[in-house]
Amino acid sequence: MKMIEQIQNVAVIGTGTMGPGIAQIFSQSGLKVILYDIKVEQLEKATQTIQNNLKTFVGTGSITSKEAEETRQRITTTSNLKEAAQAADFVLEAVPEVLDIKKSVFSELDRLCPPDVILATNTSGLSITEIAKATQFPQRVVGMHWWNPPIIIPAIEVIKGELTGEETVNITKALVTKIKKIPILVQKDVPGFLGNRMQYALMREAIALLNEGVASAEDIDMMIKAGIGFKFPVMGPLETIDMAGLDIFYRVSQYLYGKLDASPSPPAIVKEKVERNELGLKSGKGFYDYKDVNIQSLMAERIKKLLIILREIKM
């Protein structure tokens, strides 16, 4: 595999929600990035998104305007997969979360990229092993799972599939460190990896509590934002148990575990909302109503607050 020092050019395949931010972070660390998408309009949108986000970064003092301009200049776009693949020392795929699409993209990339180029997938929880089976060189296929918004969230899961080589894992971890993010090694290719398993457990309980009328959506969210979630950047769940005492945790678990939501399928309330096109921010209504909300300002405000926290805690 190409060594970390040899990785100077990165290709990002698919520029929807995640691709542009991922490209920006690679570029901010001095790497050249080539963005590819099957839709030209997505490439144009990505360029605009990157421009807007760089403006927010400069506005909050996270980077200088010179750094923003250099970051922008290191990113190019193409609608030719061969061009993207051949320019790359490392490839990150961020196409839709559909196994067949991922497999066909990996089979193409495997054909176009020399075998010493790592092919990473940003899948949220599909099997890395299954994706790797679409290639001739499965030892170079690895999970590199960024979190949304990728320009902010420090953690990136590096997932070892059953066929992933040790060297592939180590170089990918080194790349995560190089771009000033925090690598989290997931040693087993389990569905949802680490982050989504824990996040979905929390979301399942939040929806069940809302459904049972235990609290309003606002209070459920505030319980996390101002309560248990407030300490998350400083203390994880296991550190929290250590702080509380395992004896206390054990006693509470004895009466609480059996009462927690354990439904094996998605909740009916979510299915109904999806059928009514209540998809959240993107359709103007989800658990909340965004009819009179300026979504761009809302997201810019959230990013600004997260950037301030990130800078203060120096993670």
Ligand X SMILES: NC(=O)c1ccc[n+]([C@@H]2O[C@H](COP(=O)([O-])OP(=O)(O)OC[C@H]3O[C@@H](n4cnc5c(N)ncnc54)[C@H](O)[C@@H]3O)[C@@H](O)[C@H]2O)c1
Active site residue 53: no
Draw the binding track, 92-131, toward ligand X (x: CB under 6 A; -: no contact).
Answer: --xxxx---x---x----------------xxx-------
Q: Does 53 bind ligand X (CB under 6 A)?
A: no
In terms of CB distance, is 199 or 294 closer to ligand X? 199
Please confirm, yes or no, whether 196 is among the known catalytic residues. yes
Contact of 284 with 290, CB cutoff 8 Å: yes
276 phi, psi to nearest 5 deg: -90, 10
Q: Minimum Å distance from CB 176 to ligand X?
A: 15
Residue 183 preceded by cis peptide, ω within 30: no
Q: How many residues bind ligand X (CB under 6 A)?
A: 23
28/42 with CB nearer ligand X: 42
- Minimum CB separation from ligand X for residue 256, in Å? 30
Q: How many residues does the structure list for the chain?
A: 315
Could you tell me the smallest distance in angstroms from the CB atom of residue 213 to ligand X? 29
Q: Distance between CA atoms of 137 and 106, rounded to whole angstroms?
A: 10
Biggest alpha carbon distance in the chain? 60
| Cα of 274 vs its chain's centroid, Å | 22
**Which residue stretch of 131-139, 144-152, 200-208, 227-235 sits at the interface with ligand X (rule: CB under 6 A)?**
144-152
50 residue type, one letter: I
From 9, 15, 27, 127, residue interacting with ligand X (rule: CB under 6 A): 15
Are the beta carbons of 77 and 43 closer than 8 angstroms? Answer: yes
Contact 159, 128 (CB under 8 A): yes
253 is a site residue for ligand X (CB under 6 A): no
Type of residue numbered 55: K
Which chain residues interact with ligand X by CB under 6 A? 13-19, 37-39, 42, 94-97, 101, 105, 122-124, 146-148
Active-site annotation, residues: 124, 145, 157, 196
